[in-house]
Structure 1
Amino acid sequence: MDTKRLDLNLLATLEALLEERNVTRAAARLHLSQPAVSAQLNRLRDMFNDPLLVPAQRGMTPTAMALQLLTPLRQALDQVRDTVVTHRHFDPAQAELTVTIACTDYLQSVIGLSLIQKLRQQAPGIRLAIRNLEPPRLETQMVRGEVDLALMTPAEAPPTLRTRHLYDEHYVLVGRQGHPQLGDNMSLEEYARLEHVVVSLSGGNFSTPVDQALQALGHTRNVVLSVASFLFIPEIVAQSHLVALVPWRLVAGRTDLKLVKAPTVSRGFSVGMVWHERNHGHSAHRWVREQVGSCLVG
Structure 2
Amino acid sequence: MELSDVDLNLLLLFERLMQERRVSTVAEQMNMSQPGVSNALAKLRRRLGDPLFVRGPGGVVPTPFALRLAEPVSQALATLHAALNPETGFDPLLATRTMTIGMTDIGEVVFLPALLERLSRVAPGIALNTVRNASVNLSDEMADGRVDLAIGLLPQLKGGFYQRRLFDQRYVCLFRRGHPLENTPLTLAAWREAEHLVVVSAGTGHGQVEDWLKRRGVRRQVRLTVPHFMSVGYILQRTDLIATVPERLALQLATPFSLSASALPMSLPAAPIHLLWHTRVHQDEGNRWLRAVVVDLFADTATPARKAKSGQKKA
Alignment TM-score, normalising by the size of structure 1: 0.68
Q: Could you tell me which residue of structure 1 aligns to residue 20 of structure 2?
A: 20
Farther-moved stretch of structure 1 (61-70 vs 249-258): 249-258
Q: Is the 8 A contact 1:153 1:270 kept in 2?
A: yes
Unaligned ranges ≥5, structure 1: 203-207
For 2:61 and 2:213, the matched residues in 1 are separated by: 40
- Deviation for aligned residue 1:15: 1.9
Note if 1:173 corresponds to 2:172.
yes
Q: Is the 8 A contact 1:195 1:223 kept in 2?
A: yes
SS in 2 for 1:180: coil
Q: Taking structure 1 as reference, are residues 249 and 44 closer, same or farther at Cα in structure 2, changes over 3 Å only? A: farther
Q: Could you tell me which residue of structure 1 aligns to residue 246 of structure 2?
A: 247
For 2:105 and 2:84, the matched residues in 1 are separated by: 38
State the AA in 2 paired with 1:70. Answer: A
- Deviation for aligned residue 1:284: 4.6
For 1:291 and 1:40, the matched residues in 2 are separated by: 44
SS in 1 for 2:111: helix
- Deviation for aligned residue 1:49: 0.7
For 2:39 and 2:216, the matched residues in 1 are separated by: 59
Q: Residues 249-279 of structure 1, C-alpha deviation per residue, up to 9 Å, x if partnerless?
A: 4246989522337666x8957655578x8x9
Q: Taking structure 1 as reference, are residues 210 and 129 closer, same or farther at Cα in structure 2, changes over 3 Å only? A: closer
Q: Taking structure 1 as reference, are residues 133 and 225 closer, same or farther at Cα in structure 2, changes over 3 Å only? A: same
SS in 1 for 2:93: helix
SS in 2 for 1:230: coil
State the AA in 2 paired with 1:222. Answer: Q
Pick 1 or 2: higher relative contact order, CA cutoff 8 A, min separation 6: 2
Q: Could you tell me which residue of structure 2 aligns to residue 89 of structure 1?
A: 89
For 1:28 and 1:296, the matched residues in 2 are separated by: 43
Farther-moved stretch of structure 1 (250-259 vs 6-15): 250-259
**Aligned residue pairs, count:** 279
SS in 2 for 1:173: strand
Q: Could you tell me which residue of structure 2 aligns to residue 224 of structure 1?
A: 223
For 1:287 and 1:28, the matched residues in 2 are separated by: 34
Q: Taking structure 1 as reference, are residues 87 and 224 closer, same or farther at Cα in structure 2, changes over 3 Å only? A: closer
- Deviation for aligned residue 1:3: 2.3
Q: Taking structure 1 as reference, are residues 221 and 90 closer, same or farther at Cα in structure 2, changes over 3 Å only? A: same
For 1:153 and 1:268, the matched residues in 2 are separated by: 7
Q: Is the 8 A contact 2:200 2:227 kept in 1?
A: yes
Q: Residues 87-109 of structure 1, C-alpha deviation per residue, up to 9 Å, x if partnerless?
A: 42232221223445454321111
Q: Taking structure 1 as reference, are residues 231 and 44 closer, same or farther at Cα in structure 2, changes over 3 Å only? A: same
- Deviation for aligned residue 1:114: 2.4
Q: Residues 34-58 of structure 1, C-alpha deviation per residue, up to 9 Å, x if partnerless?
A: 3333222212111111111222224
Note if 1:3 corresponds to 2:3.
yes
For 2:266 and 2:37, the matched residues in 1 are separated by: 53
- Deviation for aligned residue 1:197: 1.9
Q: Taking structure 1 as reference, are residues 62 and 80 closer, same or farther at Cα in structure 2, changes over 3 Å only? A: same
For 1:165 and 1:181, the matched residues in 2 are separated by: 38
Q: Could you tell me which residue of structure 2 aligns to residue 260 of structure 1?
A: 264
Q: Could you tell me which residue of structure 1 aligns to residue 107 of structure 2?
A: 107
State the AA in 1 paired with 2:107. Answer: L
Q: Is the 8 A contact 2:164 2:276 kept in 1?
A: yes
Q: Taking structure 1 as reference, are residues 195 and 116 closer, same or farther at Cα in structure 2, changes over 3 Å only? A: same
SS in 1 for 2:197: strand
Name whichever structure is richer in helix by fraction. 1
For 2:104 and 2:246, the matched residues in 1 are separated by: 12
Q: Is the 8 A contact 2:174 2:245 kept in 1?
A: no
Q: Taking structure 1 as reference, are residues 2 and 105 closer, same or farther at Cα in structure 2, changes over 3 Å only? A: closer
- Deviation for aligned residue 1:61: 2.4
- Deviation for aligned residue 1:226: 4.6
Q: Residues 139-177 of structure 1, C-alpha deviation per residue, up to 9 Å, x if partnerless?
A: 8xx69x9x75574665547x9xx8554548655132469
Note if 1:192 corresponds to 2:164.
no
Matches within 5 A, 1:1-298: 1-101=1-101, 103-130=103-130, 133=132, 135-136=134-135, 148-149=147-148, 151=150, 156=156, 164-167=162-165, 170=169, 172-175=171-174, 180=184, 182-183=186-187, 186=188, 191-199=191-199, 220-226=219-225, 229-231=228-230, 233=232, 242-251=241-250, 257-260=261-264, 268=271, 273=276, 284=286, 287-288=289-290, 291-292=293-294, 295=297, 297=299
SS in 2 for 1:260: coil
For 1:10 and 1:27, the matched residues in 2 are separated by: 13
Alignment TM-score, normalising by the size of structure 2: 0.65
For 1:191 and 1:30, the matched residues in 2 are separated by: 62
- Deviation for aligned residue 1:111: 1.4
Q: Residues 215-267 of structure 1, C-alpha deviation per residue, up to 9 Å, x if partnerless?
A: 67665421234556525546876998643222344246989522337666x89
Q: Taking structure 1 as reference, are residues 190 and 28 closer, same or farther at Cα in structure 2, changes over 3 Å only? A: farther
Q: Taking structure 1 as reference, are residues 250 and 136 closer, same or farther at Cα in structure 2, changes over 3 Å only? A: closer
Q: Could you tell me which residue of structure 1 aligns to residue 304 of structure 2?
A: none
